[in-house]
Structure 1
Amino acid sequence: MLSLVIAGSGTSLAGLLDGDPTLLVLEVTDDAAQAARLAGLHRPDVVLLDLGTDGAGGETVRAVLSATSDTKVLCIARQATPAVIAELLAAGATGLLDPADPPPDPGTVVRAVADGHVVLASPAAGAAWRELLPPSG
């Protein structure tokens, strides 16, 4: 069973993962500043970080990873620009999920991130990824 801390609008984020018996939500906070403290306290497999929360972003990702280096960070973003995606990846986030257009099984994304995969499960992420990568050739 994978353990989670949710930092952000917990009800809607937890709703995305409802009914998945492989995921255990340890704590929910609406305060991004609490994400690092709770990650250090609980040492979850994954922190779900809602970028709509005041103060959430690259600095919060770095703080979580500083509190517990074994935890992975999956960011929830409604409208991630290439600059935001680059900031989050540079900070150490390993996942991005768009709650407006979630994959059929968001738990699969959480499990993949926990396993160390980088997952950009957002329609905007593909375009942003192509913009961030230099052209080959």
Structure 2
Amino acid sequence: MRVLIADDDPVMRMLLSAVIDADPQLDLVGAAEDATEAIRLATAHTPDVVLLDVEMPGGGGQHAAREIKASRPATRVLALSAHEDGPARDEMRDAGADGYVIKGTPPAEIAKALRGD
């Protein structure tokens, strides 16, 4: 399964990359630092799933989710946030996100969410 991640925090990108690299069913095809780059990489690499930070430069996860879903409706989009609930969750769902992952979730659970298990 081809995975694209997008988070403005380089440490978070490194941690998510390690989670993906550790799972033989997942293949990291790109790591973006903002929404604009996430949209560009999604177009270039046609991932099966995109994990988008809700709060990042370039319009945030909502902007990236809308653009990615508009051009690639079959791509699953998962929101990534430090907040368990609140308006961000609703905004990402309204933007087309298929799921929601909380930062700090154990690596095995993140991999499971990416695989769609």
TM-score, normalised to structure 1, is 0.72
CA deviation map 1:9-55 (0-9, x unaligned): 42122233341010000111112211112111111100111124223
- In 1, are the aligned partners of 2:61 and 2:92 still within 8 Å (CA)? yes
Correspondent of 2:15 among 12, 17, 30: 12
Deviations 1:69-125 (A, max 9, x none): 221111110114321111111111011111223364321111117xxxxxxxxxxxx
Of the structure 1 ranges 80-89 and 90-99, higher mean CA displacement relative to structure 2 is found in 80-89
**Separation in structure 2 between the aligned mates of residue 58 and residue 80 of structure 1, nearest angstrom:** 16
Contact 1:39–1:67, Cα closer than 8 Å, also in 2: no
Structure 1 residues 87-102: aligned runs within 5 Å: 87-102=91-106
Question: Is 2:67 the counterpart of 1:81?
Answer: no
TM-score, L = length of structure 2? 0.83
Larger Rg, first or second structure (1 or 2): 1
SS of equivalent to 2:52: strand
Structure scoring higher RCO (CA < 8 A, sep ≥ 6) equals 2
Gaps of 5+ in 2: none
Q: Which residue of 2 aligns with 1:108?
A: 112
Would you say the 8 A contact 2:54–2:88 is kept in 1?
A: no
Checking the alignment, whether the CA contact within 8 Å between 1:36 and 1:67 is kept in structure 2 is: no
Counterpart of 2:85, as a letter, is T
Q: Is the 8 A contact 1:58 1:88 kept in 2?
A: yes
**Structure 2 equivalent of residue 56 of structure 1:** 60
Match of 1:38 in 2: 41
Q: Secondary structure at the match of 2:73?
A: coil
Q: Which runs of 5+ in 1 are unaligned?
A: 114-137
RMSD after superposition: 1.9
Shift in CA distance, 12/56, structure 1 to aligned 2, threshold 3 Å: farther
Could you tell me whether the CA contact under 8 Å between 1:5 and 1:46 is conserved in 2?
yes
